[in-house]
Chain A
Amino acid sequence: MKVETTTVLAHATYGGDYRCLELEAPGIAPEVRPGQFVHIRLPAPADAILRRPFSVFRADGDRLQILYKAVGRGTAAMRHLQPGDGLSILGPLGNGFPAAAADALPVLVAGGYGMAALYLQARTLPRRGIAFFGGAKAGDILCVPEFEALGWEVRATTQDGSRGERGLVTDALDAWLSGGGRDLRPEFFACGPNGMLRAVGGRAEAGGWTAWLSMDRHMGCGVGACLTCVQKIRDPDAPGGWSWVRICREGPVMECRTVVWEGDE
């Protein structure tokens, strides 16, 4: 973990509101493990003072890529970054994904632009399985050629039916499970909105499988000091049967059985 002033190599639109930021980060990029993230200091002047966390999409040699969607105050400040600009990043942070179970079929599940957080794991896993990508519309289904080039079978689902099956990503997952998938001993690696993660975790628990969920929580320092990004986990030894973990430090990847979901997630 270190703070590094990186150099922007490229900053391209990736369709719609999505952008891909490529950084020269010789101190951090070689250290990144699948599922880890970096904490980016927004370009000045910005009255948004905190860093912003981003999953690492790709890390190749000294270079790393961040795939993001320009939606809020923080990402708006990033839109004008140009090749050659300096950018301070802190990382790599978080625990990352574990190695795959030997006898399971890896199954990736991504919602939103969660596929970006799964790419390094997809490249690292010893077996190629099935990847379920869900989004609101065709423009939200990203990186399909990249995953297919690694040997993954990608199944897309959109809520408006503009690409793949119409519905939620979990609808496609359920159809696959009942069509023989459950006999293949799936092990899930998932990143996306909390509702999707909870649903994937529920399928895994019901089937007796494992699901590794890359969780997104409102975050402050990124290193475990501020205690903003805390998540309840099951803890039989604690009063009430739960305790906090810090998603930035003990996460962001949590096994579904440990997570205590709140009512509205």
Chain B
Amino acid sequence: MMQSFFGLLRKIIQTGIGKTRLVMATLGLAIAMLLLLLAIQAHTDFDQLLHSQQNQNESADFLVINKKITNAMMGQPAKSEFSPEEIADIKKQSFTDAFGFITSNQFKVTAAAPGELHFYTDMFFESVPDAFIDVKNEDWKWNTGDNTIPIILPNDFLNLYNFGFALSQDLPQISQETVKALPMKITISKGLITQEFTGRIVGFSDRISSFLVPGNFMEWANQKFGNGEITAPSRVIIKTKDPSNPVLVQYLDDKGYTTNQDKIKYSKTKMIVQTIVSVIGFFGIVLLLFALLVFSMFIQLVIASCKREIQLLVTLGTAPRQLRRYLMRQFIPLYIVTGVVALLVLAGLQWWASGILATHDMFVAPMLSVFTFGAAILVVLLVYIVNLLNVRKYVAEIS
């Protein structure tokens, strides 16, 4: 009967002696891997719940920030303004992806509805950089000399009118299309100087609760009708990847700033989940270290218990490289099986969780994320390298 070299080595280097240790190490590795991967997958899933298009309105990525108006501040508008230092500080925060001022008008504005509607009101304008506006419209532009000003209204404003005011006052409800078709007579003035424009509603914004006009119009009008002073902004807008980022929420809180609370409501949940996930991941790492330790003890025991045999093998010409390869071949299937089992268990969990969540209209991918696979490969590689170093060390010691 022909036997391979490794087949014969198996009869000489008895790995059975440390079987309990090997089983313990493998079990430890499996649990460690499961915890680690679970932590990573849970993290990915939660991110997905908060950020994916299906789960959330994308406008949550923009936050309008202003200072909280307190009783002490009332009547002192300067106290609600952002100083240049405060602005620079917001800009340099890691959660700020983009930053823009909301510029207010420094002149008087009145609006009148055309024809027989007998509607007349004082109002205000604000402008923000175009990148922050969620209304994409060709008409959203103004050139010096144009007599028509494009205006964006907050969606909420039309809703307030249609469902609050119009119904109770027996006025007609108005559709978005109608509003867009209505030319408004806009008068802006400063003292005795006045100028009339035609205002056209070009869109409705969910993101910014204000009456918006193009930035260059605001600049021109502030120059012509303003008092010449550049006033500091009292509202700023930032773009952020994650409005529920606890760092962001903590920052706003510390500085006494406020924003749309609805958008940051996930912050606390996220912090709790992050803590749980970190604890699980931490235990995974600790367990992984223990598994590595037990593996190392197993290798040491096997090599020590077969010291004489291994020395004779080396005397007869067995290369240390052959011994290392033989020993590692005992482990590699264990790593791979452990990795695959951990991934399978997790994939099952993920699929099940995805199904349950879907019934609550929350969507996470039914498949594991690439990070989880990547982490599994990394853990297997780590264990392989650590064990290889151990084998190398102990083989070199006795050969």
- A and B: real partners? no
Give B contacts to A, CB under 8 Å.
none
Give A contacts to B, CB under 8 Å.
none
